[in-house]
Amino acid sequence: MSMDIKNIVFDFGGVLVDWNPRYLYNKLFEDEEQMEFFLQSICTPDWNEQQDAGRSLTEATDLLVNKHPEHESMIRQYYDRWEEMLKDDISANVSLLNQLKGKYRLFGLSNWSGETFPAAFRRFPFFEEFEGIVISGDEKMKKPDPEIYHLLLSRYQIEAENSAFIDDNAENIRVAKEIGFSTVHFNNETDLEVELKKMNLL
C-alpha cells in the first residue's frame, strides 16, 4: 500500500488535539449532572457543529441567549473562554508527524470554526508541518459532505486513491472510503502508529 500512498490527510480534533467543552465547564459547574444537561440540551454538539459549518460565533451565541436567557452567562462563556476547552495535543499521534513528513505530503481536513481555529493554530506548533489545511468553517461546508473532501483534493491537486485519511468520526470515514481514500478510524482504543505500520506507511 505504501507504494501507492503519497498523501496523508489528518482530522484534528480527537486525532491530534484534545478538545472538550467539559475542560471549561467542569470549572463553571459544581454539579456534573447540571453540566451534562447544559452541554446536551443548551450548548449542544449540533449547535456547535453549525459554527463548524460557517455560522458566526456572534450569531450562534445570540441565538441561544435569546432562546435560553436564564443561561446567558454560561452560554457566553462557551466562546469567551473557548481556548480553555483545548487541553493538549495528542502527543502520541503528533510525534508521528516528523516520521511521516519526509515520506508523504501531509494535509489537514477538519470540521472547525474558522473563528476559533487560528487560536489553536497559534498554540500548537505542529500545525506548521502541514502543506495544506482545509477548515470547514472557512469553506462554509463540513464533513461528511463529499464536497469538502473534493475541495481538498482539487485545491492541492491530489488523488483520493493515493491518499490516506485519518478521522475519529465513523461517518466521515465512511464517506472518505466511498470517495477512494484509504482510511484509519481513530478512537481511544487505536494505536495510530500500529495502524500505520499495518498499512506499511511507517
Task: Name the amino acid, one letter, at 132.
Answer: G
**SS3 readout for the chain:** CCCCCCEEEECCECCCEEECCHHHHHHHCCCHHHHHHHHHHCCCHHHHHHHHCCCCHHHHHHHHHHHCHHHHHHHHHHHHCHHHHEEEECHHHHCHHHHHHCCCEEEEEECCCCCCHHHHHHHCHHHHHCCEEEEHHHHCCCCCCHHHHHHHHHHCCCCHHHEEEEECCHHHHHHHHHHCCEEEECCCCCCHHHHHHHCCCC
Q: Could you read off the pLDDT of 110-161 as tens digits, one per residue? A: 999 999 999 999 999 999 999 999 999 999 999 999 999 999 999 999 999 9
Nearest Cα to 134, choosing from 1, 7, 4, 9? 9
pLDDT tens-digit series, residues 24-41: 999 999 999 999 999 999
Can you give the pLDDT at residue 195?
96
pLDDT at residue 102, rounded to an integer: 87
In CATH, which superfamily holds the domain spanning 7-16+90-198?
HAD superfamily/HAD-like (3.40.50.1000)
Looking at the DSSP bridge assignments, the partners of residue 135 are 110
Instruction: Say if residue 177's pLDDT is above 80.
Output: yes
Q: What are the cell numbers at 179?
A: 470517495
Give the pLDDT confidence of 183-198 residue by residue, as tens digits.
999 998 999 999 999 9
Largest CA distance in the chain: 58
**What pLDDT, in 10s, does the model give residues 92-111?**
999 999 999 989 999 999 99
Instruction: Single out the residue of 33, 123, 53 nearest to residue 85, CA to CA.
Output: 123
How many Å apart are CA 118 and CA 75, to the nearest integer?
21
pLDDT at 3 (0 to 100): 57
Task: Output the pLDDT for position 2.
Answer: 47
43 has pLDDT over 90:
yes
Domain residue limits, the chain: 7-16+90-198, 19-85
Q: In this prediction, what percent of the chain has a pLDDT beyond 90? A: 98
Asked whether the whole model's pTM tops 0.75, one would answer yes
Sequence letter at residue 138: D
